[in-house]
């Protein structure tokens, strides 16, 4: 590093590489890991998403976590963001449900509607 300009360029590259809000081409799965989610079983759900993505070698899928999504009675919850599509919110998740979500929604593009927030409100 020889100048302040070079340092600023390094800073910009680093910021761009960690910017999670930046538009991405792949699918993003966000698991609610607030205390309410963890108490309801979100940790095994998060691990199941990570395991399925790794097992299927899905290169364009990012699994992240967030705090409370806001509907504690429906935890564990996860949101799936696919480019050009509406966000899908899944509720009352289990590792078994995660396997089906990955196979049907993330791989084949068909949301599993019976696990969504809209279906939970009808119960």
pLDDT at 6: 85
| pTM for the full predicted model | 0.78
Give the pairing type, strands 78-81 and 61-66. unpaired
In the chain, where the domains are located: 23-121
Q: What is the mean pLDDT of each run of 10 residues along the chain (123 residues)?
A: 80 71 77 95 97 94 93 95 94 97 96 86 57
- What is the three-class DSSP state of 3? coil
**Angle at Cα 28 formed by Cα 105 and Cα 56, nearest 5°?**
60
Question: 73, 29 in Cβ contact below 8 A?
Answer: no
Any idea which fold 23-121 has?
Glutaredoxin (3.40.30)
pLDDT at 15: 74
pLDDT at 19: 61
pLDDT at 117: 83
Q: Rg of the Cα trace of the chain?
A: 17
- What is the three-class DSSP state of 90? strand
Distance CA 77, CA 115 (A): 10
pLDDT at 20: 52
């Amino acid at each position: 590093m020889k100048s302040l300009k070079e340092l600023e360029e390094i800073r910009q590259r680093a910021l761009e590489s960690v910017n999670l809000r930046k538009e991405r081409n792949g699918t993003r799965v966000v698991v609610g890991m607030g205390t309410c989610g963890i108490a309801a079983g979100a940790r095994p759900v998060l691990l199941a998403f990570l395991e399925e993505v790794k097992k299927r070698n899905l290169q364009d899928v990012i699994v992240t976590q967030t705090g409370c999504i806001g509907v504690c009675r429906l935890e564990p919850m996860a949101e799936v963001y696919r480019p050009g599509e509406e966000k899908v919110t899944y509720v009352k998740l289990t590792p078994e449900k995660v396997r089906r979500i990955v196979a049907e929604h993330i791989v084949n593009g068909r949301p599993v509607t019976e696990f969504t927030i809209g279906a939970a409100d009808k119960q």
